[in-house]
Amino acid sequence: MRPDIKQTARATRAYNFHSHTPYCDGRSPIDEMARAAAAAGFKHYAFTTHSPVSLGTPCNMPYAAVTEYISECERLKREYAGRMTLYTGMEIDYLSPQEGPHCEYFKSLPLDVRLGSVHFVPTQRGEYVDCDGRFERFASYLHDCFRDDLRYVVEKYFGQVAEMVALGGIDIIGHFDKIANNASQARPGIEDETWYQVAAGSVIGEIIASGLPVELNTKAYARSGRFFPDRRWWKRLADAGVTLVVNSDAHSADLIDAGRAEAFRALAEDGIAL
């Protein structure tokens, strides 16, 4: 059953549409994630394991595991019926017009929730590099793969997000400015630079035009005090009628609801009613 994500986000806080399992880089068994979600009081909860990609990364689910993953999600949906509505989903990586949520493979899967995200950025030579994760790794990739051209990486990232939004096939737009996490460590203050604001503003315009809901990702809050998208963009999105969906992006059961209370409090402080 596919949820009405906008309606759910406006009606209750007892939801989470972004979480991971050991089928990708999640650390807690899928049953444990479901138990933690129920204990946290969620009424709507989606498993969104990282989708398979042609690159075959350790963080993404292998194609060979997809059938088993979907079967496990369906089993848990039956087990929790009447107590909590569970959804079979994926966080689908956008790489290119040839590989992303819009492609027939993902459209053919019986998914309730399709969360579209960008993690991989093509280098100047067309090789895809994961620009998420630890800063130390990103710094190494920036030097070795991107010729230390941070502006190229950031602008290409936002370009990838814009392409993904335009091509469709998604229900929620995932952490659309996550590149800021590593870029701001590589060059503090980068988010205040004019070209950065133009690049981010351009993709926000595409997002607004799409009418799609945008996740407010709280995963990094406890560690860095940051949300994605950055708080500076919330009012513009909300004023344009974009639904903000507060997701924890949980990779372990103990973080099932991490940062969400703080995000809701910050939204209220900014006068944003969901």
Output the average pLDDT for the chain.
97
Average pLDDT over residues 233-244: 98
Average pLDDT over residues 175-198: 98
CATH of 15-269 among 3.40.50.170, 3.40.50.720, 3.40.605.10, 3.20.20.140 = 3.20.20.140
Does 56 have pLDDT greater than 80?
A: no
Does 1 have pLDDT greater than 80?
A: no
Residue 89, pLDDT score: 99
Residue 105, pLDDT score: 98
Residue 257, pLDDT score: 98
- The DSSP letter of residue 109 is S
Does 164 have pLDDT greater than 90?
A: yes
Average pLDDT over residues 93-107: 98
Element at 96 (helix H, strand E):
none
The angle at the Cα of 162, spanning 126 to 117, to the nearest 5 degrees, equals 80
The predicted-structure confidence for 68-91, as pLDDT tens digits, reads as follows: 999 999 999 999 999 999 999 999
Q: Give the tokens for residue 263.
A: 């995000």
Residue 115, pLDDT score: 99
Does 24 have pLDDT greater than 90?
A: yes
Query: What stretches of 14-97 show up as alpha helix (H) in DSSP?
Result: 30-39, 66-79
The predicted-structure confidence for 119-143, as pLDDT tens digits, reads as follows: 999 999 999 999 998 999 999 999 9
Predicted confidence band of residue 205 (pLDDT cuts 50, 70, 90): very high
Residue 16, pLDDT score: 98
Does 273 have pLDDT greater than 90?
A: no
Question: What is each CA distance from 242 to 152, 198, 215, 272, in whole angstroms?
Answer: 28, 19, 10, 11
Bridge partners, residue 126, by sequence: none
Does the CA dihedral 125-126-132-137 come out positive or negative? negative
Predicted confidence band of residue 67 (pLDDT cuts 50, 70, 90): very high
Residue 160, pLDDT score: 98
Does 218 have pLDDT greater than 80?
A: yes
Residue 181 one-letter amino acid: N
Residue 270, pLDDT score: 96
Residue 253, pLDDT score: 98
Does 274 have pLDDT greater than 80?
A: no
Given a contact cutoff of 8 angstroms between Cβ atoms, the answer to whether 32 and 252 are in contact is no
Given a contact cutoff of 8 angstroms between Cβ atoms, the answer to whether 240 and 210 are in contact is no
Average pLDDT over residues 244-271: 98
CA–CA gap between residue 37 and residue 105 (Å, rounded) = 29
Residue 119 one-letter amino acid: H
Residue 263, pLDDT score: 98
